[in-house]
Amino acid sequence: MPIKSRIRTIPDYPKAGIQFRDITTLLQDPVGFRIAVDGLVEPFRDIAIDKVVGIEARGFILGGAVARELGAGFVPVRKPGKLPHDKIGHDYDLEYGQDRIEVHVDAVKTGERVLLVDDLIATGGTAQAAIRVLEQLGGEIVGVAVVIDLPDVGGRARIETMGHDVVALCTFEGD
């Protein structure tokens, strides 16, 4: 059974016309979870990676597992007010306003090789913000790995325009 069939689609969530791709069904399936983690790890297995960075919240689940498989450290990218130590952040635009991500200032050191992991790439705004913060800290982005790409929304193209490769395990067209 392919990975895409393990992802639940919830129509009209969080608003009418949106097809929400819910990976909780993938994560609760032990075979599906293993397929997802292996798929995210495989393209980077032979590349030196110091840190895997997971974007809140589903990126934490996947990123932690990927970091363990790659023998790398794990760094959480959080929403504002969630990190207790000195942090650096980046504001980014959403279709309905603005948001912000933050990371501890000592989470990534200059020259460390970083893999960014999340569940899904849509507009790419959150990933772009995370890349900017990680590069500001001196990290070298070796790739962006996601379970789902929504190509019609254009996020993957935006990340690739920044000069970074994107690995996606599946795509959902028309979303």
Q: Nearest 5°: CA angle at 167, between 30 and 155?
A: 115
Q: Which of 58, 78, 102, 156 is catalytic?
A: 58
Query: Which CB contacts under 8 angstroms, 24+ apart, belong to 42-50?
Result: 43/143, 43/145, 43/167, 44/70, 44/115, 44/142, 44/143, 44/145, 44/167, 45/70, 47/113, 47/142, 47/143, 48/113, 49/113, 49/114, 49/115, 49/142, 50/112, 50/113, 50/114
Q: Is 95 a catalytic residue?
A: yes
Of 8, 68, 78, 95, the catalytic one is: 95
Active site residues: 58, 95
